[in-house]
Amino acid sequence: MRRIPTLLFSLIVALYCLPTNSEVLSTPPIQLATQYQQDTVVAEYLVSEKLDGVRGYWDGSNMLTRSGRKVALPASFTLGFPHVAIDGELWLGRNRFEQISALVRRQQVPDQEWQEVRFMMFDLPQHPGPFSERYSAMKMMVEQTASTHLQVIKQETVASTEALFTILDGVVNAGGEGLMLHYQQAHYVVGRSEYIIKLKPKYDAEAVVIGHTQGKGKYRGKLGALVVKTPAGLVFNVGSGLSDKQRENPPLVGSIITYQYLGFTQKGTPRFASFLRERPSQ
């Protein structure tokens, strides 16, 4: 099977994410999380719920998606927002990702449809202090604004690994995705950072579809699996998690999917990779 070069993968992602009839500004300089490791000293971190929303970057005057698209927010939504950079999540509530994703992609939305949406702050990219100070500053921002849309994600200290996983179980059982851990003394760093950690029962990642395999048995005449490639060049099949409808009309070659997995095999392949969703065109 021909392998798609990493540069070509990036080009496909960029083209796929390019929105139509919407303004694309510069890609926001954001911090990205790493995965939880067993040797993490939990007491040194502040812990919060990982929200199932759409990441938003408030640059002081515009709300941008991760790809740099300007979100068409009504003026009433951002009234009172501070004129500083804020990293956060546009959120409707647990298990409502599809609704907030669709809302963010639309260019003309009645103001009332944004009433339930909250911009949940989780960091201040330009603040010079460590995360513990940035968290205090975010709480102060909420107190000083009359906006009902601007909120801060609650952070808490956790004494032990056992307590951390007890909290994780409670969040997941209530319909949440998982937890985020912020190292209290870390400064905001653009790019992948070892000082911000995600902890989930399952991890997720994105890959580009480069092919389809034919189904067998009950899936004869339908899709068997998606052949996908990661940004690092790893090629593997994703065959579980697809509905019958998706097998009849699978994501096209060149589209981007999100898949879930439980760690890696010894060969470095995602273990028990399962289709989660196709990335919406933005």
Question: Cα separations (Å) of 100 from 142, 171, 190?
Answer: 22, 20, 25
Q: What is the pLDDT of residue 28?
A: 93
List Cβ neighbours of 232 (8 Å cut-off, separation of 6 or more).
6
Structure tokens at 226: 């998606």
- Among 153, 151, 152, 146, smallest CA distance to 76 is for 146
User: Per DSSP, what are the bridge partners of residue 69?
Assistant: 24
CATH code at 31-199: 3.30.470.30
**Domain-by-domain residue ranges, the chain?**
31-199, 203-278
Question: Cα separations (Å) of 261 from 78, 130, 186, 233, 240?
Answer: 37, 32, 28, 17, 11
State whether CATH 2.40.50.140 applies to domain 203-278. Answer: yes
List Cβ neighbours of 54 (8 Å cut-off, separation of 6 or more).
65, 89, 90, 91, 97, 100, 101, 104
CB atoms within 10 A of CB 106: 11
Catalytic positions, written as ranges: 50
Q: What is the pLDDT along the chain (282 residues), one digit of tens a residue?
A: 344 454 444 444 444 344 444 566 688 999 999 988 888 999 999 999 999 899 999 999 999 999 899 999 999 999 999 999 999 999 999 888 889 988 998 888 788 889 999 999 999 999 999 999 999 999 999 999 889 999 999 999 999 999 999 999 899 888 888 999 999 999 999 999 999 999 988 788 999 999 999 998 888 889 999 999 999 999 999 999 999 999 999 999 999 999 988 767 767 888 789 999 998 765
Q: What is the pLDDT of residue 201?
A: 80
